Amino acid sequence: MSTANNAYEFPWEEHYVQAVLEPDSPRLQDLITRAHEAIQARKRELNGRPGHTLEMQLAQDALNSLGVLKRERESRAA
């Protein structure tokens, strides 16, 4: 649950939001990579544990969005 000290509900969200909100800059690829790694780590942690269906679906959606963001960035660089 969100608190005043942590505006994010899931541990990977901050990394994801930083990547999505970053303007196309040299930092973007690093932020995408860090977000992807954080999401994958959390999915491994939750794998097989009941009661986390929503977070698992949101994590997968975030991974899909990061993939689109990465492809868009690569196509602009080409």
22-44 pLDDT, tens digit per residue, is 987 889 999 999 999 999 999 99
Domain ranges of the chain: 28-77
Which residues contact residue 63 at a Cβ distance below 8 angstroms, ignoring those fewer than 6 apart?
Answer: 36, 39, 40
In this predicted structure, what is the pLDDT of residue 5?
Answer: 54
* The model's pTM: 0.86
Q: How far is CA 27 from the centre of its chain?
A: 15
Q: Quick one: how many helices (H) and strands (E) in the chain?
A: 3, 0
* Residue 4 DSSP class: S
Residue 77 has a pLDDT of: 77
- Convert the pLDDT of each residue in 1-20 to its tens digit: 444 456 899 999 999 999 99
Residue 8 amino acid letter: Y
pLDDT at 74: 86
C-alpha gyration radius of the chain: 13
